[in-house]
A and B are shown apart, each in its own frame.
Chain A
Amino acid sequence: MPVNFFTSVRPWSRRRRRSRLDSICAVALLFAGTVACGAPSGSTREVVRITGSDTMVNLLQAWAEHYARVRPGVSVQVAGGGSGVGIAGLIDGTLDIAAASREMRPEERRRVISRYGVAPAELTVALDALAVYVHRTNPIGSISITELAEVYAEGGRIDRWRQLGARHWSCRSDEIIRVSRQNNSGTFAYFRQVVLGPDREYRLGSIDQSGSKDVVSLVSNTPCAVGYSGIAFATPGVRTLELATTPQGPAIAPSEATVADGSYPLARRLYLYTAGHPSDAVTAFTRWTVGPQGQTTVRQLRLVPVAASGRLVRWKEGG
């Protein structure tokens, strides 16, 4: 008597017809799928695989489309997931370029060296303002980094809008709903490093979204919420706050100028990383991204080109 509790998990198939016939179909489909996926695609195009930062995924996609017109022989394949996903993939050798909105950590750098024998190469490809978003009905105009830390950090003392001096009528509970990112996100790591400080933890109980866009869309339909995400993701449903370093300091709005001159407190670099000895196609592509065409795309996506900042564009070899 065969044990059949596996089939009993599919109660919606009719009892008479289930069990063996279903298994046959399932197995047949499985094999068919394998064969179809395993078949060679028949193209000889060179492939550049980039994965990583969700903040950068729109930029990478735009670059890939633009580059396909410039160099039809090279196919740039883009995937998001978060800076951590990209760097993990680079270490595991499953991709050519990792896109990251944070610097590689020393431990990750060590892993790359132990696997490839050489340090990863780092390239700054754009600058981004990390904006602090609130609901469009929120009356608050600016916030300081110190206050932000009190909102987000473990042991922080601010959890009501009135503590920030705001009469936020459309938020009935007056509770500050903290929207954050999942913990493999480079944005999550950057915000923690710069706002909370290197040895403070995030307070538990924030709503952790897995995409930059998701943060903004959740804030736009949650009047009580505050969230952080790249400036390129702004929508009409939300407002960005001006940021001051201290409660007494001047509040600065995120813009290309304030990011380029470094006066906006949450201006950050966006990076591409390669490991080992990348192919010519990979090197050519990374060079192109910081060239005039690549940087034009950067500006079209509301990010700040590296040239505008006057900062040197360079490969950081070794480390």
Chain B
Amino acid sequence: MLSPAIRQRISAAVDAVMDTTIRLAGWSAIGFVFAIFYFVVREAAPLLAGDFEFAKMFGSTAWRPESVVRPQFGLIALLAGTASVTALAMLISLPTGIAAAIFVSEFCGPRTREVLKVVIELLAAIPSVVWGFIGYMVIAPLLVQVTDASVGVNVLNGGLILAFMSVPIVMSMGEDALKAVPDAFREGALALGASRWQTVYRVLLPAARNGLLAAALLGVGRAVGETMAVLMATGHSVRIPHSLFDPVRTLTATVAAELGETVSGGTHYRVLFLIGTLLMMISLVINVTADLIVRGTRRKVRQ
């Protein structure tokens, strides 16, 4: 048997080790993010110094990076692809996700809530290539049969898949936001004779507005950054879409499909890293905005 003194010393040592490990783990996250940002920007940076034509890059739809005649790096079609798929996904997933959040947080009983939450969180755990596979093998043939679409991999397909992937995020965040509204608000509304629906519509939604906005932004972030699923479901076609049934190509899918082939240091390679930088900046802006909004909510609720 160890004497109490030794035991105490061991316990103190373990405490110290654990404390350091936890601190390191926390700070390492920041280190990793900055390291990733540094390496991505470093690969793209030589473009900024050279005589690369940025005006053409942001003013042209022609993406022909490996052309033997004349390589072209127009990003407009790719940006349009990302924007169209993301917008459609949000159009579908925001109403659905927020409605689900309202149901789970305000209307259903505790048992249903647990079941729903577990199942929806499971939805978030499905790997993105599986979603892509569903888009490619299940939704695509269905779209050709049901609609007038000439081709099944298109904006609608990608938007649906991304919507499925964002709903769990929007719902979880939305439910958190609604839960953060103090019960005094609900009690007050009931006392004034409001129905449940009136309480939700007139009291809870305005009170949780910021949190719901943050949920929406994180959903957007998820959709912009998604790669594998859109690579398989959108058709990977460089063009500005004119209808829901046009195939498109997104920024992320372009990087995923082309980075492997490029010889390191070439223009194509650097442009792909520039796209990476662009995507990171979009995510950063979205995450920081969402975070600021969430802080706003917390402060207001505390007052």
Contacts and interface: CB of A to CB of B under 8 A. Distances in A.
Interface string B68-90: 11000000010000000000000
Interface stretch (A204-212, A256-264, A288-296): A204-212
B270 interface: no
A146 interface: no
A24 B22 contact: yes
B43 interface: no
Contacts of B176: 11, 15
B29 A6 contact: yes
A221 B152 CA distance: 8
B237 A206 contact: yes
Interface string A94-134: 00000000000100000100000000000000000000000
Interface stretch (A60-68, A80-88, A243-251, A269-277): A80-88
Q: Lowest 9 A-B CB distances belong to which pairs?
A: A184-B261, A84-B261, A5-B291, A205-B239, A183-B66, A11-B173, A224-B150, A23-B25, A221-B141
A184 B22 contact: no
Main secondary structure of the interface of A (DSSP, over half): loop
Interface in B140-190: 140-141, 144, 148, 150-153, 168-169, 172-173, 176
A199 interface: yes
Interface string A26-47: 1100000000000000000000
Contacts of A201: 64, 67, 69
B260 A81 contact: yes
B229 interface: no
Size bracket, chain A contacts? 35 or more
Contact of A24 (B21, B148, B173, B236): B21
Interface string A183-212: 110000000100000111110111111100
B235 interface: yes
A8 interface: yes
Nearest to A82: B261
Contacts of A252: none
B102 interface: no
Interface of B: 21-22, 24-26, 28-30, 33, 61-69, 77, 121, 124, 140-141, 144, 148, 150-153, 168-169, 172-173, 176, 214-215, 218, 221, 231, 235-239, 247, 249, 257-258, 260-264, 287-288, 290-291, 294
A187 B302 CA distance: 63
Contacts of B237: 205-208
Main secondary structure of the interface of B (DSSP, over half): helix
A48 to B, nearest CB: 20
Given A201-B67, A204-B62, A23 B26 contact: yes
B261 A11 contact: no
A49 B205 CA distance: 59
Contacts of B294: 8
Contacts of B231: 210
Interface stretch (A172-180, A278-286, A304-312): A172-180
Interface in A1-34: 2-6, 8-9, 11-12, 15, 20, 23-24, 26-27
A177 B64 contact: no
Given A11-B169, A204-B77, A209 B236 contact: yes
B121 A182 contact: no
A171 to B, nearest CB: 7
Given A6-B33, A12-B168, A208-B249, A24 B290 contact: no
Interface in A202-261: 202, 204-210, 218, 221-225
Contacts of B152: 221-222
Contacts of A105: 68
9 contacts: A5-B288, A9-B218, A12-B169, A82-B260, A182-B257, A183-B261, A184-B261, A204-B239, A207-B236
A138 to B, nearest CB: 13
A217 to B, nearest CB: 8
Contact of A208 (B67, B236, B260): B236
A289 B190 CA distance: 81
Contacts of A208: 236-238, 249, 257
A83 B158 CA distance: 28
A91 interface: yes
A192 B221 CA distance: 37
A204 B172 contact: no
Given A111-B263, A177-B150, A184-B260, A221 B140 contact: yes
